[in-house]
Structures are given as C-alpha cells and as structure tokens.
Structure 1
Amino acid sequence: MIIIKIYVYLDESGNIHQNSPTPLFAIGGYFVIDEAHHKDKIIQRYKKINKKQKKKRQLPLDQELKSRMMHDDEKIALLSRIQKIDGFYGCAILFDKSHMMKKIDRCNIFFNYGVKLLFHDCILPLLPPHQSYEFILSIDNRNVSVGDLKDLEKFLNTEFCYCDYSFQITYYDSRYHYGIQLADLIVNTFYLCSKNYPLIYPVLKILDPTRFRLNIFPGHIRKGRTKKINFIDKP
C-alpha cells in the first residue's frame, strides 16, 4: 500500500493556562496533501506576499509579522490567494474553557490532547479512510520545554496505533518558518471569530468554506468543509 504524506503546520492562540482569565484557546493551522510539491507553493506564496507587506510598512524583512499586527486587507490578501492552491486545507479547534467540567491541570498534556482532537475532528474526517498516512508536523517551539519535545509524537503514535498512521514532529522558531507563520494567521482568525466576531468578519467572509474546517469544543460543533477530499483516484 502506498504511504501518503500529509504535511501539517500548527500554532495556537489564546492562553491554555488554568489561571488565565482568557476563556478561549485554539489550536490549528493547515494541512497539505503534497502532490506536485503543493507545500512548497504555499510557503513560497505566503513568503512573497508577506515580504511585500513588510516592505510597505518599512519593517525589516527578517522581522516576523504576527497575525495580531496585521490589518484586515493584509490578512485578506494572504488568505484569498493561499486558499486557491491545490492541496491546501485550513483547520482549527476552539476550546471554550468556561464550559469544561474540569480545570486544565498541565498545559503540555492538554495541548497534546487538543492536537489529538484536531486530528480526530478536523483532519481525519476529510481524508479517505483505509489508507496509510504519514503525518509530518511542524509546530512553533515557543511553549515547549526540552523535556516535552518528544511527548506529542509518542502520544499521537500511541493514540492512533489502531490505524496505519505515523506521526513525525519537528519544532521550529516561527520567526524563521513561514509555514508556522501562516498557521498563526489561520488559528488566530478562528480564535477571533468567537472572541470578537465583528472585528474579524471582513476576513471570515472571504474564506472558502470548502478549504477550511473548524470544530468548537465542548459540543463538537463543526463548521466548514464536511465532504471528504478526493485525491486517491485522481489521474
């Protein structure tokens, strides 16, 4: 059986800590089915537009332009073009901590659980079943201690041991990784849709619902794409 590689880029928005007054927390970004090097096209397009925006603002080209610093027109310019690339799919899971029955005890454990739910509710339902998948994850390293670097990889490989899936995770500094910067833009957009909907509405209305999937937890409320992606039988 052919092993299909799926590249996943993740970041987070909000605060996961139990003592944080922020009631919302989100994990998400995008995944790409790497036919014809789609993952490279996505990153190169993001990089090109991002650099134009920094030049216009007279910012150093090596400075990270975080999504919270972007104007609506900048977000729209990026997302409207990125979502047209074949193989691209945005995803996010939004946690409403105020409706959970238990407090978050350890942030790293809950993050691992959150990533598992992201796969279970937002990524795997869109992929053809009964296939062999190799998931290659790129994640921002800012909230990961050295001792936790392999925890998520072991956790996912164990949790999905009943399927022919493998997980490989690498952590990067988002300042130097355009894929994670794009993940930051996507997850922050969905984070703001519940925190301040009027603020982010101009961006949300240009998103192609066939290219994005959002899950709200608890409640398992799903928005966006539900139809499976047909890439197995393409000529």
Structure 2
Amino acid sequence: MALGASAAVASQPNDILTAARPASDSFSPAAQVDTADARAALLDRASGVSRSQQRAADDAVQEATEIARARQTALRSLAQRAVARSTYLTENRWVLPMTGYRITATFGQSSYLWSTVHTGVDLAAATGVPIATVGAGEVVSAGYDGSYGNKVVVRHDDGTETWYAHMDSIGVTTGQQVEAGQGVGTVGSTGNVTGPHLHLEFRPGGGAPVDPQTALAALGVLL
C-alpha cells in the first residue's frame, strides 16, 4: 500500500512539469493558419495603400501635364496675338516725312506765291534730304505736275491722299505699295518755289486739303 502511494507521488512532478511547459513551445495547425491569415491581411492592406498612393501620384502627374499643356496653348495664343498686333501697328503707323526740317509756311496762309491760300505745310531742308511717306499705302501718282514740280501722291487705306511736292528726285513708281517711313524721293526746289523744301498736303478721300499738322497730330505725329 505504501509502495503504491509512493509511485503515485513520484509521478506527480512529471505531471506538474508537463502542465507548466509554456504553450508557446509549439503552435497548433489552427494557430499557424491564423498567423498566415493575419500576415496576408497586412500584406493586402499595404498593397492597397501602395496602389492608392500610385493612383494619387499618377493623378498628380496627369494634372500637372494638363496644366502645362494649357499654359503652352495660352502662351502660343498670346504670341500669335502679339505678332498680329505688331503687324497691325506696323501697317497702320504714321510717321514724320523727314527730319532736320523747319516749317516755313503753314496751312491756310496767304501769299503772292499761291493763287489761293496755302493748301499744305512747307518743311524746308537741304536739297537731297530723304523724304518718306507718312503712312502705308499705294502710290497713285509719281511725276512732274506744273507748279508742284516733282510730286508723289500716296493713297492710304482710309482713302486719304498725301501729296509730296517740289522734290528733287522721285524714288517710287505709280502702283507701288509703300510702308510708313519708306522713302519716296528727296527734297528739292522744282516747280513754283523760292528754295528747297517739301510741300506736304493731306486730302481726305482725295478731296479738299486739310491742315497736315492737325491731321498728323490726330494720328499721334507732331510736326
């Protein structure tokens, strides 16, 4: 009886050790499956975040590309408008007919030199000084014209005619297109004159003359 009790007592430490062994020493198949599922879930979540970030990056690149494209389109449009404006200003600008002159007779003056009042403005300068058309247009007359001497007439887009008289030489021909500032001849003393000068007339619509100084001032040019 005592021996049996001793055997029973002797087996108790092993039971205690078995009970005290940590459960972490081994994983059951179910625990391993749970761990794998958790790892897969984390990977899926990380992959989802990565895809979301990639989409956001792609969207940002697309937006930046569209903004750059729109900016380039706007810049091209501005450049085209600037060229068109520059062309318009070049074609429609008005300039002085010459430099280094002095006014010796104004519009409307009376003198024995003219059968009526003076029909233009006289700009005295040395013989041979270049004379330019004050605006773009077409040469409708170029040649000698009695008391006007050597004369050139330019018709502008609005129908106004500008006359350049008493020239020493003529540098254009009838039918020629000219731009503002383009040479049409040189100062001279041909026709009814007392000295070398340019006689300039403004005739709206090719009709009666008006004061060239007033007409040019309205166009932003001061004689």
TM (norm. structure 2) is: 0.23
* Structure showing greater relative contact order (alpha-carbon pairs closer than 8 Å, 6 or more residues apart): 1
Specify the structure having the higher radius of gyration (Cα).
2
